[in-house]
């Protein structure tokens, strides 16, 4: 088994069935929590950048010469996107001086919104997916993660009373 396969499948999580993308997103949550606990939003942000770069490389290796540019077992893209979706929680917890687990409704929202955007592939998410290359595999989930992060921020704003809260 190659290093690129282990990276692309997020430590073989991508081989879980059914719905390997959902399993990849779920596996990203405890890893994201650990990254936050160890190094806060800075470490989580650096992990996003590193996982993106390694994921792009690993995806290119795993799909080289194959007709399927985005096989279902490749889930490192879901890990990256899910970490982007929880980044506002890491920043918020650090700013408020509370445990990131205290923001549990945000975790639920980040997971559900990310999966929604990743599955529906609206707008620029679909554009990235249609690239049909390793960068597109990674980018569609990055964009879905950004959309989910914006959704998390919007829901937090509403939950905390909007402009007067």
pLDDT on residue 68: 85
pLDDT at 161 over 70: yes
C-alpha 138/C-alpha 140 separation (Å) is 6
Residue of 138, 148, 143, 147 whose CA lies nearest to 76: 138
Q: Are 51 and 83 in contact (CB under 8 A)?
A: yes
pLDDT on residue 138: 97
Report, as an integer, the average pLDDT of 77-87: 98
Residue 117 in tokens: 């955007």
C-alpha 81/C-alpha 55 separation (Å) is 11
Q: Which residues contact 63 (CB under 8 A, 6 or more apart)?
A: 69, 70, 71, 74, 134, 137
pLDDT tens, residue by residue, 116-160 = 999 999 999 999 999 989 999 999 999 999 999 999 999 999 998
Distances (CA, A) of 138 to 43, 58, 122, 158: 20, 11, 16, 30
The DSSP code sequence of 64-93 is: TT-S-SS-TT--HHHHHHHHHHHHHHHHHH
Q: What does pTM read for this prediction? A: 0.95
pLDDT tens, residue by residue, 19-77 = 999 999 999 999 999 999 999 999 999 999 999 999 999 999 999 989 888 889 999 99
């Amino acid at each position: 088994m190659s290093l690129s396969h282990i990276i692309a499948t997020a430590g073989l999580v991508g081989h879980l069935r059914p719905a390997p993308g959902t399993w990849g997103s779920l596996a990203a949550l405890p890893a994201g929590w650990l990254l936050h606990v160890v190094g806060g939003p800075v470490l989580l942000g650096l992990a996003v950048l590193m996982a993106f770069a390694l994921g792009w490389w690993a995806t290119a290796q795993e799909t080289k010469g194959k007709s399927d540019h985005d096989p279902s077992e490749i889930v490192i893209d879901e890990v990256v996107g899910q970490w982007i979706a929880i980044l506002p929680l890491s920043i918020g917890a650090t700013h408020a001086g509370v445990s990131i687990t205290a923001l549990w409704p945000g975790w639920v929202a980040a997971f559900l919104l990310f999966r929604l955007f990743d599955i529906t592939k609206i707008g620029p998410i679909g554009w990235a997916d249609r690239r049909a290359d390793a960068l597109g595999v990674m980018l569609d989930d990055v964009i879905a993660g950004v959309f989910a992060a914006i959704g998390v921020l919007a829901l937090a704003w509403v939950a905390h009373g909007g402009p007067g809260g």
